[in-house]
Every structure is written in C-alpha cells, then in structure tokens.
A and B are shown apart, each in its own frame.
Chain A
Amino acid sequence: MGAGARVAAGRPAPEAGAAQPGAGTLLDVRDLRVGFHGGARGVVRAVDGVSFSLRRGEALAIVGESGSGKSAMALSLSGLTCEAGADVQGAVEFEGVDLLAAGERRLRRVRGAGIATVFQDPMSALNPVQRIGAQIAEQVLAHEPLSKAAAAARAVQALRAAGVPEPERRARSYPHELSGGLRQRAMIAMALSCSPRLLVADEPTTALDVTVQAQILAELARLRAETGMAVILVTHDLGVVAGFADRVLVMYCGQIVEQGSVSEIFEDPQHPYTWGLLGSIARMEGERPRRLPAIDGVPPSPARPPAGCRFHPRCPHAMPACKAPVELRDRVGGGRLDRCVLEVERKRALRTRSGAIGL
C-alpha cells in the first residue's frame, strides 16, 4: 500500500543496519505521547515522545522495566489507549494511514487484520464463556466475507498453524480447559487468523513457565519466517530478545534511551541503563555471584520524571551534564541512537564488570 508516501522531515533517521534496503516502511511512529489522567498527580506521561519506524517483516523488540511505558506504547499503536480515556498525541502511521487520526471504522479494519495483538495473559484475554474456535472465527467474520463454516475451518487451520495439537478438538474447547501454553498458542492462532502484516506481542511469555516460554518464542519466530509479517515484541527480558529480534528499542520512563541492532545492543551498549539490564541477566558461565546484579533504586514516577537524563538519579556514572536534557541521537555512527552524554571510549571502560557488561 502507500508505504512510500512518508516524509521524513525534521526528525532523526531511524533506519538501523538490520533492515534490508527497499523493504518498505510498514509502521512509522512519530513523537508518540500517551498520558493518563492521574487525578491529583496530574497527567502521567506513560509514553513521552517516542519515534521509530518498522520495516515490513522486521522483528523489533521493545525492552524496559515495568512502568517504562512499553505496554502503553504497544497498545497505543492500534488506538486502544485512546478508548481507555488516555490522552494520545503524535502520529502512528500504518501502511500510510495515521491510525491516531483515523475514524472508528477505519481503525476496526486495521485491528485484527493489519495489526494483530498477542496479550500477556491469555487467560484474561480470551473470553471465558466462548469456545476457542468461535472466538477466532468471530474475528475472521469481522474482516472477511466468509460463511460461518469457512470461518470455523479457518479457525482450525490457524490453530494448526500455531502448533496446537488436535486443532479440531481444541477449537471446541473453552479457554479454561487448555493449559497455559496452549492458551497462548490459541491467542497466537487468533492473531494470525487474518494474516496480519504486523503482530504486536505484549510480553507474550511472561505468564508462562520457562520451558513453554521457549516453545512460544520459537513458534513466533517460525511463524514470522513463514508469513513474512513484522513483529513487535514487548518484553522486560533481554534474554528473550537475543534470539528473536533484528532491532531493539530500550525504553526507560516513557522514552527511548537506546536503539540499535541486536548485536549492537548486546556487544556495544551505549546507555548505562542498557548495561544494567544486560548485567542483570543470569549467566551460566563464569563465577556465580552471590546475588544477581540489579540496578539500584526504582524507576521514577512518570508523573514527575527527573529533569535531564531520566536515568541519572540511578546512574553511578552521572555527572552534572546529565541534569540537562539529553537528546536521542547518533553518537557512535552507523545509525544507532542513544541518550547518554558520556564519551564513547569512556563508556567502553566503565561498563566492563569482571569480563562482562554491567553497570
């Protein structure tokens, strides 16, 4: 569709190395701001000026702690937070159409068919009193002129594609009759049933146990390869990101603090917050620390974000310059962006902690 109609004026070029040239832009988010009215605390800016773009077929991971605004952003992509009474500004252009400015009918056509969402907890995201197959068929019927029988067949087909064993039988099950892993597969089947161009997976493995997590991620990776859809994976687990994504956005307190390809983020992270996240991954090799390293302190309230670099109150390397606003720009070269004023060479020395990256 109108993928080339984008005008990239007056903002940092988001093109990172991982995307193939000529793939075309699928999603373009510009200066997205999402605020919730928090009563006495004023407006809580869950997302504060986020810009990025996504190419067709690309896998993007959005990483951050709880409360960093990553879920609010993911839900805003298809206008869900607008209806929840949030104050949403900026632009979310999907295939050339600004979804934030689009009307309800237009939005409905995109939801499910263009952008599909996999929620964190499949138990609460599936209707408890409706059979799995019927829930999937309902979405198909909302988007395509099919008979009920054809929609039901499509549901079974989607379940099979998502790796659900005995899909005919499972289609007749209620959500509570399935295990957690199967429920998430059913959720993925629902998301895939209309062949979306973009799948937004909001912490799809958080509610699952570790062995099932790996299966679900492998399934998502396989389906992405088969269908060529783009995926936005929202997670707080950098371990999940490594094998899955092409590109990573690191979010902190409603802002992007660093953006780059997976190898760049893992091998040469620029922002101390990213170092902290990397340092807190449990490692199998080397000496075992008594406790897992953690980032000291707690994330600031998005209602009253710290001035300047939002991470500076928790950053051991903070200096006076950190109290002034820090813009997100390319400091290393190669199209990667970060929000840290430290010199690149100094960072490389500071971030090494007993042979690995840490804060």
Chain B
Amino acid sequence: MNDRGALRRLLHEPHALIAGAVLTAIVIACLLAPVYAADVAHTGPDATHVTETIVVSGKKVEVVSPTGVPIGPTWTGRFLLGADENGRDVAVRLLYGGRNSLEIAAVATVLSIVLAVAVALIAGWLGGAVDSLLCRLMDLIWSYPVLLLGVALGVTLAVSGIDLGFTTLRGGSLMLPALIIGVVYVPYMARPLRARTIELRGREFVDAARQQGLSGTRIMLGEILPNLSSSILVFAPLLLANAILMEAGLSFLGAGVQPPAPSWGTMISEGTRLMPDAIHLVLAPGLMLLAAVVSANVLAEAARDVLDPRARLRAQPTAGGLDWVPTVPPAPPAPSDGEPA
C-alpha cells in the first residue's frame, strides 16, 4: 500500500487525470477572480450596471433592457457570460461565487474528516459505552434527511449566529454554512471508519503493538490511523462533491450564503426568476456546479479503484452521491476476536 505507487497509478487512469485537471482548473480560475474582474471585465462582483450600455460587435446594447431582461453572453471581455437583472457581470460573479462555494465546501470537508476520524477512532478503539454513545449521536444526525437538517440549522443560525466559545460566527459568515455542512456529513464517514477501526483493533499487529509496550493513544494514532488513510483518501473528494452540492442546495433555499454575496447556489436561486428570458443566469452556475461535482466524484471513484482494486467488482453505484460508500477491504479471519462471543 505504497502511497507514491498509488498516486502514480491514479495518474495513469485517464478519467482521473481529466477530472483532476477540471477540478484544478476551476479552483485556479476561482482563485484568480480578482484578476479577471479588474483586468478583463473591469468591474466587481457587486457592481451594478443597470443603466449602462455596452458595444457588442459594433452595436450599442443596453445591459438590462427596459423590460428588465438582462443581456446574454457577449463572449467578449465585458459581460462574457452576460449580466443579471441588476446589471452585474455573471462571469465575475461566477468566479467570486465559486470562491465562496469552494471555500465552504473545502472547510466543510476538512471539518467532516477531522470530526469523523476522531469519532471513529475513539468509538472504535474504546468500544463499550463510549462507542454506544457516539453511535447513537451519529444515528441522531443521520435520522434527519441531510438537506432538511441543513436547512433547519441554516435558517436558525443565519439569524442568530453561533457562539463557539473560541470564536463567534455572525449571521452572514461563510463559515456558518461550512460548519453546518461539515457537521451533517460526519456520520457518513464516521460509521464506515469506525467499522474499519474495530476490524483493525482485532488484527494481530495491534496485539503485537500492545506487546511492544505501546500506549493506547499511540496505537490509535500510530498503528490504526495510518491504516485508515486509504479510506479517508477515497472519502475526501466524495465529501467535497457532496459539500459543494449541499452548499448550492442550502444557498438556493436561502439557508446558506446570504445575498448579495455570490455563490453558485444563490446565483441559481436568483436566476430562476428570469428563467425563460435569461437562461444563462441558471446555466452558467449550474454547469460549473456540474463540472465540479462530477469531477470530484470521478476522482473519488478512481481513488477507490486504485487503493482497493477489488472494490470495482463489488461496487453497485446507485443514484445520488453518498449512497455508495467506499468499501474497505474484507476482514481477514480474526483468530483472536477481541470480544467474548
């Protein structure tokens, strides 16, 4: 299970390579949003140009027509992908919105992974009452539909903000949806990782580590955690894809990023009002979302194939993101099962 070897094999999978390139391109483009806004579009994400006119292929065109229909894609520097009803540059907002969406998704993913790994290791290693308690907590989170829980938390916290002790997140903060998304996805990762921890706990090398005189904490972090790394690597892009989608969903429903701040979800939400006349308002963020989510999913699947080749035979993908869960290698016969039968 050499990581360098796995990475090399991953790069040999053409679809993984393409997916990785697409995702990287999106991230770089979003990071360069200020440069694009200043040097190409000559406007900002929130600057309105409702009353202005621009010259497109020799003709003067109003950015927003008197009937309220915004200009479509010009395919030139200014208003590359058209304008919205407030005369804001869609391309600029798309990149700035992508920054918000990706930032939220990335923070949420890291948060999910950290929390899930902690829960899995503690529950799986300690077992007993601690395990039961943490598992019931996971069940509790899992018993709500993810989106419903996200919306409920989002709507509540968007008004009040939340005091985390070390810091306070105010209503409009981007970290608020990141926190919500990060928390609601914890069970999806914590449960399989816990199962894997329990399986690893019964393996002989853990007995051997005990016999070496290593402490429980050391075995947990030094022996078990490295063995979880392949599962974590497979989960990470999958969680990222789901977090991006979740952010869009929450923002669309008004429980995520708060307008006028752009995100792909808020842009789609605002665009639906003008759908028949200005389809580009929905298409532009929608296609970006699609590209990001699909490439992250492809990457996750490729990572799984590379890290666990047998899973390709077992996986039966069903509709929807996390319905398939990265499988872990089958447990070898455990000669010294830790638990009394």
Q: A204: shortest Cβ distance to chain B, in Å? A: 13
Q: Considering the complex of A and B, which 10 residue pairs feature the smallest CB-CB distances, nearest first? A: A112-B213, A111-B213, A37-B340, A139-B212, A112-B212, A125-B208, A124-B204, A117-B211, A129-B226, A85-B340
Residues of A within 8 A of B212 (CB): 111-112, 116, 138-139, 142, 190
B143 within 8 A of A: no
B205 lies within 8 A of A138 (CB): no
Tell me the bound Cα distance from A176 to B215 in angstroms: 25
B76 within 8 A of A: no
Complex partner residue of A84 from B1, B215, B222, B336, CB under 8 angstroms: B336
* 21 pairs, CB–CB < 8 Å, chain A vs chain B: A38-B341, A39-B340, A83-B210, A84-B338, A109-B213, A111-B211, A111-B213, A112-B214, A119-B207, A119-B208, A121-B204, A124-B205, A125-B205, A127-B223, A128-B1, A128-B227, A130-B226, A139-B214, A142-B214, A142-B215, A176-B1
A110 within 8 A of B: yes
B1 lies within 8 A of A174 (CB): yes
Identify which of residues 1-24 in chain B touch chain A, using a CB-to-CB cut-off of 8 Å.
Answer: 1-2
Residues of B within 8 A of A143 (CB): 213
Identify which of residues 185-208 in chain B touch chain A, using a CB-to-CB cut-off of 8 Å.
Answer: 203-205, 207-208
Query: Contact flags (1/0) for A154-182 with B, using CB distance below 8 Å?
Result: 00000000000000000000101000000
Query: Contact flags (1/0) for B326-341 with A, using CB distance below 8 Å?
Result: 0000001000111111
B209 within 8 A of A: yes
B312 within 8 A of A: no
A238 within 8 A of B: no
A143 nearest in chain B by CB position:
B213
A151 within 8 A of B: no
Q: Find the residue from B211, B215, B218, B226 having the highest chain A CB count within 10 A.
A: B211
- Interface of chain A, helix or strand or loop or mixed? mixed
A235 within 8 A of B: no
A193 nearest in chain B by CB position:
B212
Residues of B within 8 A of A36 (CB): 340
Tell me the bound Cα distance from A111 to B216 in angstroms: 13
A126 lies within 8 A of B205 (CB): yes
B211 lies within 8 A of A108 (CB): no
Binding site for A on B (CB under 8 A): 1-2, 203-205, 207-215, 218, 222-223, 226-227, 229, 332, 336-341
Tell me the bound Cα distance from A176 to B2 in angstroms: 10
Residues of B within 8 A of A194 (CB): 213
A139 nearest in chain B by CB position:
B212
Q: Find the residue from B203, B205, B215 having the highest chain A CB count within 10 A.
A: B205
B227 lies within 8 A of A112 (CB): no
A142 lies within 8 A of B211 (CB): no
A113 within 8 A of B: yes
Tell me the bound Cα distance from A117 to B211 in angstroms: 7
Residues of A within 8 A of B338 (CB): 83-85
Complex partner residue of B205 from A108, A109, A127, CB under 8 angstroms: A127
A78 within 8 A of B: yes
Q: Find the residue from A80, A126, A127 having the highest chain B CB count within 10 A.
A: A127
Complex partner residue of A127 from B211, B213, B227, CB under 8 angstroms: B227
A127 lies within 8 A of B207 (CB): no
In the complex, besides A37-B340, A119-B204, A139-B213, 18 extra interface pairs with C-beta distance below 8 angstroms are: A75-B207, A80-B207, A85-B338, A85-B339, A108-B215, A110-B213, A117-B208, A117-B211, A124-B204, A124-B332, A126-B205, A127-B209, A127-B226, A128-B205, A130-B223, A143-B213, A176-B1, A187-B208
A111 lies within 8 A of B341 (CB): no
Tell me the bound Cα distance from A188 to B227 in angstroms: 23
Residues of B within 8 A of A138 (CB): 209, 212, 214, 218, 222
Residues of A within 8 A of B209 (CB): 127, 138
B209 nearest in chain A by CB position:
A127
Q: B217: shortest Cβ distance to chain A, in Å? A: 11
Q: B337: shortest Cβ distance to chain A, in Å? A: 8
Known: A84-B336, A127-B227. A116 touches B211 (CB 8 A): yes
Q: B214: shortest Cβ distance to chain A, in Å? A: 5
Tell me the bound Cα distance from A167 to B209 in angstroms: 21
Residues of A within 8 A of B227 (CB): 127-129
Known: A36-B340, A78-B211, A85-B339. A174 touches B218 (CB 8 A): no
A111 lies within 8 A of B210 (CB): yes
Complex partner residue of A80 from B1, B211, B229, CB under 8 angstroms: B211
B204 nearest in chain A by CB position:
A124
Tell me the bound Cα distance from A116 to B205 in angstroms: 14
Complex partner residue of B341 from A37, A83, A190, CB under 8 angstroms: A37
Q: B7: shortest Cβ distance to chain A, in Å? A: 15
B200 nearest in chain A by CB position:
A127
Tell me the bound Cα distance from A37 to B227 in angstroms: 30
Tell me the bound Cα distance from A80 to B332 in angstroms: 20
Residues of B within 8 A of A190 (CB): 212
Q: A326: shortest Cβ distance to chain B, in Å? A: 31
